[in-house]
A and B are shown apart, each in its own frame.
Chain A
Amino acid sequence: MPTVRACLALLLLSPLLYADGGQLRWTEERYGLRVSVFTSPTPPTVGLLDVSVLVQDANGKVRLGVPIRVRAIPRQQPSRVIEAMASTELATNKLLQSAHLELDRPGPWRLLVEVESVAFEGEILIEEAPESWWELLPWLTWPFVVIGLFVLKIFLQSANPRSSPASK
């Protein structure tokens, strides 16, 4: 079914979450591990959040396939934990590993990235999701560009009646 879905998405011009990193949140080095955490979309909003993690050793050599667990905890409700394992499959840039978290409320969230039992922590401010019509604005307005061009064509035709089919 994922294949079918992917094919349909392809057919229907789906713009998906790219998971190619996004905005760099922080870089931290501990216990010989250098971890860089990226999030997408920018700015992060309520809904699906892509967290991509780049793991390097102290020399900057990329470490691939390290188990990474990502946790998000809302500041206002510390007992709630949303977590997911990161994987290369979800990442576009295969040097990174990505996890998708469904964050359901705006405000500050703690982001915990656990790499080989070493925890790296940062904070992220989740904004209200924009009105869907606002997000879709370019998607919604293109027909009106086509309509505008068509009106322009009519205008040009009436300005130059020689070229109008009606004048024949």
Chain B
Amino acid sequence: MLPAVDAVLRSWPYDPSLWITLAICAAIYLRGWHILSRRDPTRWHAAQPLSFLGGLLALFLALGSPLEPFTSLLLQAHMAQHLLLVMVAPPLLWLAAPFFPLLRGWPAQLRSLLAPLLRSTTLHRLFARLTHPIGAGLLFFLTTWSWHLPALYELALTSPRWHYFQHACFLVSGLLFWYPVVRPYPAKPTWSKWLLVPYLILTDVQNTALSALLSFSDEPWYPHYAAMPRLVGSVIDDQIAAGVLMWVPGSIAYLVPLFLIGLQLLFPQAAARPGQTKPRRIALPLVDSSEQGLVRQWKETARSPLPLIPEPSPARGVGRSHGSPLPKGRGVRGKGVRKPRWDLLRVPILGNFLRWQFARPLLQLTLLVLAVVVMLDGWLGPPITPLNLAGVLPWIHWRGLLVFSLFALGNVFCYGCPFLLPRTLARRWLPASRPWPRWLRNKWPAIVLFALFLWAYEAFALWDRPGATACLALAYFLTAFVIDGIFRHASFCKFVCPIGQFNFVTSLVSPTELAIRERSACDSCTTKDCIRGSSNSPGCELALYLPRKQGNMDCTLCLDCVHACPHDNIELRGRLPASELWSDPQRSGLGRFSQRPDLAVLVLLFVFGAFANAGGMIAPVVDWQDALTDKLGWSSPLPLVTAFYVVAVGLPTFLLLFTSRKYVFSLVPLGTAMWFSHYCFHFFTSYEVVIPALQRVAFDLGWYAQAPTWVCSCCALVPAWLIRAEILALEFGLLLSLYTAWRVADRSPIKTTPYAILIIALFILGVWILLQPMQMRGTMMG
């Protein structure tokens, strides 16, 4: 192959956002199509997903293939890109009848958000106008001609934003143009199909006129291309090639459907497939599922080109029409019968590993060894943070991976917690028989420790003291040993451990939850081993009775209940993050959240602690603290740090306790997102510092020949994607918090407003914090 051709073929642009968007679209469509095709395989056939994937492939070739980097050099490449956007992708996408599969592919909760919009008659009317041949044809004509005017084309070539807009215009006008031609199911146009004949002919005429003007022009239309270095031929050759591309494939694209439609119109009998019956249509059985409602909605929407729904099969009942992509009505789901859900414990290999009896001890042992190494290095290694494992691993790696795993999976850290191994020893040597004092059976001890930790971390710069970090870890081990050696059950985890409380609160937004599989099995179960324990497992030591367990609070994911249950009736299932906060049920081992002031304080501490902890290390706050300390003549920053925490955490916690307690929990997603963004920043900017620290340890032990050559992380550029990823996480937290507040307020806009304002204000504060220069703690400084 010629080197230049090889170079062209290797010129793939790096655009993850495009890949991810297309992959998400494909996944949603395929999921929806799969569900629908199981119910009605004749309506939903294999050609549709192929067509949809073909449409996405055309979009990918246009925007993510070697074509893209050449569009600024060659007009013909740019023309080919636009043809893919206008003439190839849209008809392929419509041939896949994407409305229902795309709707059905979303989770039910999100569909229920979209449903009212899709039912809007204004939207229906607007869509009908835009997809009427006159509307769509005019729009297509205007878009094509205006974007080929030199001034606008040049604008798109010089500004990336205008370029995106140009592509969006072409794609949207292409989609609207091809809609009346393809009429994807369930479109039911009210205009005569004969209208398509002039529609396609006129479009071809305007296409021919524009391409002829371009091809026969002696002058280059676009100065941008005239100035470009020539890769092939002259600028006029390039323009002619672009014109011909537009002319020939363009005409084929219009004339082939014209021919097929002409055939259908002239020979309707021949065009219909033998045995094909006309599908009957009814309206969307969304919420108003009474027969009267159906008839009324059918009348309202029968003339609309937006999705209608095939008539339900009588055997399934009205609420479960076989094609309905929208949420099922209430009362439709049979009691006690539900479709199988995704269960992590059933995932091959990973599920087997998690259920393996020794998986947890193995993980705990590994982390224990690591903790011992970190502690030893903290005491024996040099007291230089970036060179000491105790200065690096706990504060950069462990925290980053902790929040990442909580967000992605669940409370994995408690599963592998090394602090619990001494508990096993303690129970051998100490009685471990006393009940935890009744007056301490709440979160107050843990709250005090959590608050102390937040304050001490900043006040004593724990992150910069490997020796103190090692002492803290030892204190943790000793406390767990003593408490669990004296008291029964998992008293340390449930009532004392601040890390555990952090994990419990964060896991409220985790995407998995441990729950029973079938209620009927529990109803008939006589042993209740999940809570009482069995010969091979102690049962739940955190007093969570599985049939009444709700959500992740207090669950250490120890899987003792899974091992104990004789009916294998427990699953680790997927769920919508934060969904457990949308109602306030009676929870086993916890009661109702709204009746637990200690939980509310814990959550507020967690949320405001997230902002204070991140805010405490940004340049404006640090500068302000330094300036004020100098001005006041104090030798230590301790009083100011204390005052900062009292104002930033204590005060809002105190004030919000006077509001209705149940709303406090709606702040959890935003707080979690703030912790996530903050810890991810440190992890991704500084993860490499572990290398010199390990080199140093190996050098000290004589395993490595030379002293480390360090990476100075504080000098590394913060990658552009990181700030976007941090903000993205915060935005998901914002939306989830707002939605939670809305649900907690029983969907009342008025009741939601005060907390919505607070959530948005906190979000803005969070964005401001993330955009400030942040100290690179635990790394080599200047």
Binding site for B on A (CB under 8 A): 1, 5, 8-18, 20-21, 23-24, 27, 34, 36, 42, 48, 54, 56, 60-62, 64, 88, 92-95, 102, 132-133, 136, 139-140, 142-143, 146-147, 149-150, 152-154, 156-157, 160, 162-166, 168
Q: Contact at B70–A93, with CB atoms within 8 Å?
A: yes
Q: Which 5 A-B pairs have the closest CB atoms?
A: A14-B721, A12-B725, A93-B69, A20-B69, A94-B7
User: Among B116-124, B272-280, B481-489, which stretch is in contact with chain A?
Assistant: B116-124
Q: Is the CB of B14 within 8 A of A153?
A: no
How far, in Å, is B751 (CB) from chain A's closest CB?
13
Closest CB-CB distance, B224 to chain A, in whole Å?
A: 8
Could you say which residues of chain A place their CB within 8 Å of the CB of B719?
5, 9, 14
Is B707 interfacial (CB 8 A cutoff)? no
Q: When chains A and B are docked, how far (Å) is the Cα of A8 from the Cα of B70?
A: 27
Contact flag A95-B7 (CB < 8 Å), given A20-B68, A24-B227, A132-B723: yes
Please give the distance in Å from B18's CB to the nearest CB on chain A: 10
CA A36 to CA B228, docked complex, whole Å = 8
Whether B731 lies near A133 (C-beta < 8 A) is no
Shortest distance between the CB of A29 and any CB in chain B (Å): 10
Q: Determine how close the nearest CB of chain B comes to the CB of A89; give it in whole angstroms.
A: 10
Contact A162:B293 (CB < 8 A) given known A64-B3, A150-B113: yes
- B12 contacts partner chain A, Cβ-Cβ < 8 Å: yes
Q: Does B508 have its Cβ within 8 Å of any Cβ on chain A?
A: no
Whether B747 sits at the interface, judged by CB under 8 Å, is: yes
Task: State in angstroms the CA–CA spacing of A94 and B158 once bound together.
Answer: 21
Residues of B within 8 A of A164 (CB): 287
CB distance from A27 to the nearest CB of B (A): 6
A17's nearest neighbour on chain B, judged by CB, is B720
User: Which single residue of chain A is at the shortest CB-CB distance from B228?
Assistant: A24
Residues from chain A with a CB closer than 8 A to the CB of B230 are: 60
Can you list 12 A-B contacts with CB-CB less than 8 angstroms, sorted by A residue number? A1-B688, A13-B20, A15-B15, A15-B724, A18-B15, A21-B73, A34-B229, A56-B229, A93-B70, A94-B8, A95-B7, A168-B330
Q: How far apart sit A95 and B74, CA to CA, in the bound complex (Å)?
A: 13
Set of chain B residues within 8 Å of A62, measured between Cβ atoms: 4, 7, 231
CB pair B749 A14 closer than 8 Å:
no
The docked-state distance in angstroms from the alpha carbon of A42 to that of B158 is 8
Interface contact B11-A93, CB-CB below 8 Å: yes
A residues in contact with B688, CB < 8 Å: 1
In the bound complex, residues from chain B placing their C-beta under 8 Å from that of A54 are 229
Contact in complex: A146, B16 (CB < 8 Å): no
| B728 within 8 A of partner (CB) | yes
Q: Do A153 and B287 form a contact, CB below 8 Å, given A13-B16, A14-B16, A92-B11?
A: no
- Bound together, the chains give a CA A153 to CA B109 distance in angstroms of 14
Q: Is B542 an interface residue (CB 8 A)?
A: no
Considering the complex, give the chain A residue whose CB is closest to the CB of B330: A168
Closest to A40 in B: B160
Q: How far is the CB of B720 from chain A (nearest CB, A)?
A: 7
Q: How far is the CA of A138 from the CA of B703 in the complex (A)?
A: 51
Q: How far is the CA of A34 from the CA of B113 in the complex (A)?
A: 58
Which residue of B is nearest A143, CB measured?
Answer: B731
Q: Give Cα A90–Cα B228 distance, bound, in whole angstroms.
A: 21
For residue B158, give the distance in angstroms from its CB to the closest CB of chain A. Answer: 7
Complex Cα spacing A156 to B113, Å: 12
Given contacts A140-B767, A166-B747, contact A18 B14 (CB under 8 A): yes
- Residues in B1-53 with C-beta less than 8 Å from chain A: 3-4, 7-8, 10-17, 19-20
Nearest CB to that of A165 among chain B residues? Answer: B287
Q: List A contacts of B231 (CB < 8 A).
A: 60, 62, 95
Interface size on B, residues (CB 8 A): 60
Alpha-carbon gap, A143 to B7, bound state (A): 40
Within 8 Å by CB of B11, from A42, A61, A94, A146, lies A94
* B288 CB contact (under 8 Å) in A15, A36, A163: A163
Q: How far is the CA of A118 from the CA of B296 in the complex (A)?
A: 80
Query: How many angstroms from the CA of A57 to the CA of B702 in the assembled complex?
Result: 56
Check B705 for interface membership: any CB of A closer than 8 A.
no
Given contacts A12-B728, A160-B116, 19 further A-B contacts (CB under 8 A): A10-B16, A10-B20, A13-B728, A14-B724, A18-B69, A23-B158, A24-B228, A27-B229, A34-B229, A48-B717, A56-B229, A60-B231, A136-B771, A143-B731, A153-B117, A160-B119, A163-B286, A168-B287, A168-B330
How many angstroms from the CA of A88 to the CA of B11 in the assembled complex? 10
Interchain Cβ contacts within 8 Å, total number = 146
Contact A95 B14 (CB under 8 A): no
B576 CB → nearest A CB, Å: 16
Beta-carbon nearest neighbor of B71 in chain A: A20
Asked whether A64 and B7 contact (CB < 8 A) given A18-B14, A36-B229, A153-B116, the answer is: yes
For the residues of A in contact with B, the DSSP-based class is mixed
Q: Which residue of A lies closest to B9 (CB)?
A: A94
Q: Is the CB of A92 within 8 A of B69?
A: yes
Min Cβ gap A93→B in Å is 4
Bound state CA distance, A153 and B112, in angstroms? 10
By beta carbon, the residue of chain A nearest B726 is A12
A143 to B767, CA, bound (A): 13
Query: Is B727 in the interface zone, CB < 8 Å from A?
Result: yes
Q: Are B120 and A95 in contact (CB under 8 A)?
A: no
Q: Which A residues touch B227, using CB under 8 A?
A: 24, 27
Residues of B within 8 A of A16 (CB): 14, 720-721
A1 cross-chain contacts in B, Cβ below 8 A: 688
Contact present for B725 and A14 (CB under 8 Å): yes
Chain B residues whose CB sits within 8 angstroms of the CB of A140 once the complex forms:
727, 731, 767
Bound: A48/B229 CA distance, A? 25
Chain A residues contacting B727 (CB-CB under 8 Å) are 136, 139-140
The residue of chain A having its C-beta at the shortest distance from the C-beta of B227 within the complex is: A24
CB distance from B263 to the nearest CB of A (A): 42
A15 touching B17, Cβ below 8 Å: yes
Contact residues in B for A156 (Cβ distance below 8 Å):
116-117, 119-120
| Assembly CA distance A163 to B296 (angstroms) | 12
* Residue of A64, A139, A153 with most chain B CB atoms under a 10 A cut-off: A153
Which B97-128 residues sit within 8 Å CB-CB of chain A?
113-117, 119-120
Bound together, the chains give a CA A102 to CA B11 distance in angstroms of 24
Task: List, in ascending order, chain B residues with CB within 8 A of A10's CB.
Answer: 16, 19-20
Cα distance, A166 to B15, chains bound together (Å):
44
Asked if B196 is an interface residue, CB under 8 A from chain A, the answer is no
Q: Which residue, of A136, A157, A163, has the highest number of chain B Cβ atoms within 10 A?
A: A163
B735: Cβ under 8 A from any A Cβ: yes
Contacting residues, chain A, for B10 (C-beta < 8 A): 94
Q: Tell me which residues across on chain A come within 8 A of B19, comparing CB atoms.
A: 10
Q: Contacts A13-B20, A64-B4: A20 and B725 contacting too (C-beta < 8 A)?
A: no
Which residues 710-724 of B have a CB within 8 angstroms of A? 717, 719-724
* Closest CB in chain B relative to A6 CB, distance in Å: 8
Report if B704 contacts A (CB, 8 A): no
Q: Is the CB of A20 within 8 A of B16?
A: no
Of B16, B160, B229, the residue contacting A42 (CB under 8 A) is: B160
Flag whether B534 is at the interface (Cβ < 8 A).
no
- Residues of B near A147 (CB, < 8 A) are 735, 738
Nearest residue (CB) in A for B732 is A143
**B112 nearest CB neighbor, chain A only:** A165
Interface membership of B684, Cβ < 8 A = yes
Q: How far is the CA of A10 from the CA of B684 in the complex (A)?
A: 14
Query: Is A136's CB under 8 angstroms from B723's CB?
Result: yes
The answer to whether A133 touches B4 (Cβ under 8 A) is no
Distance (whole angstroms) from the CB of A94 to the closest CB of chain B: 4
Flag whether B775 is at the interface (Cβ < 8 A).
Answer: no
Q: Is the CB of B724 within 8 A of A13?
A: yes
- Please, how many angstroms separate the alpha-carbon atoms of A88 and B15 in the complex? 18
Q: How far is the CB of B566 from chain A (nearest CB, A)?
A: 40
The chain B residue with its CB closest to the CB of A56 is B229
Query: What residues of A have a CB within 8 angstroms of the CB of B4 in the complex?
Result: 61-62, 64, 95
